[in-house]
Copies of this chain bind each other. A is one copy, B any other.
Amino acid sequence: MKNKPTIRDVAAKAGVSIATVSKFINATQRFTAPVERKIQAAIDELQYHSNPLARSMITGKTGSVGVAILDISNPHFTSMVKGANRVALEHGYNLLFVDTEENQAREDELLGALSRRVDGLIVSSRMPEEQMDRILAFGKPVVFSGRPAPAGVPSIGIDAYAAAYMIGELLVKQGHRNIAYLGFAPARPDMERMRGLSECLEAHGLSLARFEVRGPTLVEGERVCSSVILRKDKPDAVVCYNDMVAIGFMGVARSLGVSIPEDMSVVGVDNIAFGRFTSPALTTVDTQSERLGEEAMRLLIRQIAGENPPDIGHMMLEPRLVMRDSTAVRTPVPFPQATPPKARKR
C-alpha cells in the first residue's frame, strides 16, 4: 500500500499481462476497446506512473539533459539556462544542472555520475584542458556553449573577438586614448576578448592596459576598482570581462569619487537585465544569452536524435552593441601629457 504501484500491479488489476500494459502506455500497439478501458481504469485508480529508471535501463534514453554552468548567480548563465530549459521542455527533456563553481575538484566525479543519467550535455563552464578528454569520453552528445570547444565537438558562442573589437572602435571613436581591460588570464574566451580589443587599439596606434580579476563576479569588479583608479596613469575607459565585473566596478568607483562616464567610461559584456538599472546605465555588448541556451539545446537535441555532428559544427552568434550611459565622448588629449608628439611614435 505504501509502495509505489508497479506495472505489475496495473496488469493484475486490469487482468492483462504486463506486456500489454507497457505497450498501451507507450502507445506502441492498439488493443480492443474493453481492454484499453480496463487498463486505463487500473492506471487511474492506482495513480500509476511508470518508473523512469527502469525504462531508461532498457531504452538507454533518460529524457534528461545535463547542463554544466560556471556560476548560477550570474544572470548571463541563468538566461542561458532559461533558454535551454524552454527548448528542452518543448522536446520533452528535463534539465539536470551542475554548478561547477562549487565543485571544481569534484567535476570529474560529477561528469561520471551524470553520464548515465542524461542523454546529452551542454558545457558552459570554463574547464581545465585536462578535463576535456573526460568530456570527449563522455560517450554521449556534448555541445559547448559560450566557450571554445575542442575540435570535432559542436559548439555555439558569440564572436568574442568581434565584440571586443566593436567596443574598442566605440571607445576610440569617442575619443578615449587610455583604455584598460579588466579580465582574467587563464581562460580562452577571455583571450579572444582581449585579442579583439588590443588588436583594435593597435590599429589605432594605442595600447591596452590590463588588470586582472580572479573571477567574473561583482565582488571581483569591486576589488579591482581601487587599483585601476589609483594607477598613476589612470585610464579614461575600462572595458570589463562582463557586466558583473563592470557593475561591481562602477559601484566602488562612484564611492571613490570617480564619476562615470565623466571621469571614466565603463563598458561590460553580456547585457544582463540589471545593466539597465545601474547608474549610469551600463553600455555593453549583447551576447544573446537566452538564445545561446536555446540554440545550444537545439544543437544537442539534434545530435541526440542522431544527426551527424559534422554538419552541425560550430555556430556563431553576432554580438550587438548596446549603447547606454556609462560611456561618453571625450575631447581627446592630442598627445600624452608633457611628451612631445613625436615621442609617441617611438
Task: Please give the residue numbers on chain A whose beta carbons come within 8 Å of chain B beta carbons, in ascending order.
Answer: 4, 47, 49, 51-54, 56-57, 62-64, 72-73, 75, 78-79, 81-82, 85-86, 89, 94-99, 102-103, 106, 110, 112-117, 137, 139, 218, 247-248, 250-251, 273-274, 276-279
Closest-CB distance, A231 to chain B (whole angstroms):
23
| Chain B residues within 8 Å of A251, by CB | 276-277
Q: Which one, B4, B89, B114, B279, contacts A279 given CB within 8 A? A: B279
Contact at B63–A72, with CB atoms within 8 Å? Answer: no
Closest-CB distance, A97 to chain B (whole angstroms):
6
Q: Which one, B62, B117, B274, contacts A277 given CB within 8 A? A: B274
Closest-CB distance, A44 to chain B (whole angstroms):
13
Interface of A is mostly: helix
Query: Given A89-B106, A247-B277, A279-B278, is A49 in contact with B116 using a C-beta cutoff of 8 Å?
Result: yes
The 8 closest A-B pairs by CB, nearest first: A279-B279, A49-B112, A274-B274, A251-B277, A73-B78, A51-B116, A72-B78, A96-B96
User: What is the copy number of this chain in the assembly?
Assistant: 2
A/B interface sample: 10 pairs, CB < 8 A: A49-B113, A52-B113, A52-B116, A52-B117, A53-B62, A63-B113, A72-B78, A85-B102, A96-B97, A218-B277
| Chain B residues within 8 Å of A97, by CB | 95-97
Contact at B139–A4, with CB atoms within 8 Å? Answer: yes
For the complex, give the distance between the alpha carbons of A52 and B114 in Å. 9
| Chain B residues within 8 Å of A72, by CB | 72, 78, 81-82, 85
| Chain B residues within 8 Å of A103, by CB | 89
Closest-CB distance, A306 to chain B (whole angstroms):
14
Q: Which of A64, A79, A116, A139 has the most CB of B within 10 A?
A: A116
With A4-B139, A96-B97, A251-B276 already in contact, 16 other A-B pairs whose C-beta atoms are closer than 8 Å:
A4-B115, A53-B53, A53-B57, A53-B116, A57-B57, A64-B117, A72-B82, A78-B78, A85-B102, A86-B102, A95-B97, A96-B96, A218-B277, A247-B274, A274-B277, A279-B279
